[in-house]
Amino acid sequence: MRVESDSMMSAAWILVYLIPIILAVLSVSVFIVAMISIVTVTVPPTQPPPSQTTQFAPLLLLIGMIYLVAIISFIVSIILVYKLVRRRNTHFKRQIFLSEDTVAAVKAVAAQKGVDVEVALASCERTVREAKSEETEKSAVLWAILSAFVFLATWYVWYFLMNDFYKHERREDGFWEDIGKTMDKCGIKFSAPRRTETMPERSFVLYLILYIITLGLFGIYWVYVLLKDPNQHFAYHIQIEDQMLSSFETVAM
């Protein structure tokens, strides 16, 4: 399930945000140059004046290209939001399955060895119940469409993506610590590896203020964060899941 749910998204997706900005600057520049060329053009008296269609042909071509790129960018932006929300949903769901299966496996080993771990596992099971209650699924299709037509919806999507992943990681760290202590009581040597980079608690209000002050340019970094933080979180999962699997395999042997 990890390959399907924990998709690593390239930083190249930032181009979805950059293209409209670059296109807007380029369009204004080309429009000014085109208007200057039309105004300053001189026609010899022996030749008839160019028709309006000929004069404005480059400008019309430019407008057509702008519309085409804008439509493509619009569609890709919907896909980006969909992928961001969907991988949130799929990862959270898989983590709940993983936590439940880990608890069940520890219970099975404890029962086989005659070790009482009910009290020790209580905190782990409570963490799973909290995850089920708080990490509910959000419709990727709905929020992708809303963010395309309602700008405030985009801010809300960015908010819950940052906030939910931060809470998820803190809750997950507590689970790994508790399950590690319980596994140790069962004679299973397991120690969660240290995170190379912990996901910081990012202030939505601060990011929003910076976004407004910079006239949207801060959104480039904001999108980068939404791509980078989950990628690092998923990379850590590869380490801890492989290590945990190896620990259980030693018991099976």
Residue 17 lies in a domain: yes
CA triple 215-221-226, angle to 5 deg: 125
DSSP code per residue over 81-129: HHHHHHHHHHHHHHHHHHHHHHHHHHHHHHHHHT---HHHHHHHHHHHH
Name the residue type at position 222. Answer: W
Q: What was the pLDDT predicted at 213?
A: 94
Cα-based angle 229, 235, 248 (whole degrees, multiple of 5): 135
Residue 1 lies in a domain: no
Residue 208: per-residue pLDDT: 94
Placement of tokens 């509910």 in the chain = 136
Select from 165, 89, 171, 87 the least CA-distant residue to 129: 171
Task: Give pTM, 2 decimals.
Answer: 0.82
Q: How crowded is residue 66: how many other Cβ atoms within 10 Å of its Cβ?
A: 16
* 4 part of a folded domain: no
> Could you say which DSSP state residue 190 is in?
-
Each of the 253 residues of the chain gets a pLDDT tens digit; together they read: 777 888 889 888 888 777 766 766 766 666 676 666 655 544 455 555 555 455 556 666 666 776 776 677 788 889 999 999 999 999 999 999 999 999 998 888 888 888 888 888 899 999 999 999 999 999 999 999 999 888 889 999 999 999 999 999 999 999 999 988 888 888 888 877 888 888 999 999 999 999 999 988 898 999 999 999 999 999 998 888 888 888 887 776 5
Given a contact cutoff of 8 angstroms between Cβ atoms, the answer to whether 80 and 13 are in contact is yes
Q: Helices marked H in 114-203 — which ranges?
A: 118-134, 140-149, 151-185
Query: What number of other Cβ atoms are within 10 A of residue 3's Cβ?
Result: 6
Q: How far apart are CA 147 and CA 210, in angstroms?
A: 20
Residue 44 falls inside a structural domain: no
What's residue 230's pLDDT? Answer: 94
Tokens of 213: 């002050």
Q: Token pair 């608890």 is at which residue?
A: 103
CA-to-CA distance for 156 and 212, rounded, in angstroms?
A: 15
Q: Count up the domains in the chain and report the number.
A: 1
Which residues are CB-neighbours of 222 under 8 A, at least 6 positions away?
158, 207, 211
The answer to the question of residue 3 being in a domain is: no
Range of the domain at 158: 9-39+49-252
pLDDT given for residue 43 in this prediction = 47
